[in-house]
Amino acid sequence: MEQPQLLVLDEPTNHLDQLPVVKSKPRVKDIYSIEALSVALAEFKGAVLLITHNRDVLRKVAKDTIPLTCIHETCTVASKSLNYAPYARAYNANFPRQLFL
């Protein structure tokens, strides 16, 4: 059987454990499912179509982001793909202004 070349994931982090905020380093035996998913997706050799609201996962695994933005029931898809970090900066800079347009 061949390895998959494409994963399609719709909100895969829903109902998964999150890494708690701790001052000390987590023990090696502690396995958190969101972190495990992030590592697995980052190491996946094929393409991943990931739909998520989890920005931490996007920061860790997204190489290209094609944002779908919905404001006042009007949705748009970006005409080009971006790395997640520049997209997040541009979105955060424009979001308050877009709410009132």
Q: How far apart are CA 82 and CA 63, in angstroms?
A: 8
The neighbour count for residue 9, using CB atoms within 10 Å, is 14
Give the start-to-end residue ranges of the domains of the chain.
1-62, 63-101
What digits encode the pLDDT tens for the residues 66-78?
877 777 788 888 7
pTM: 0.64
What digits encode the pLDDT tens for the residues 6-44?
999 999 988 876 655 555 565 545 557 888 899 999 999
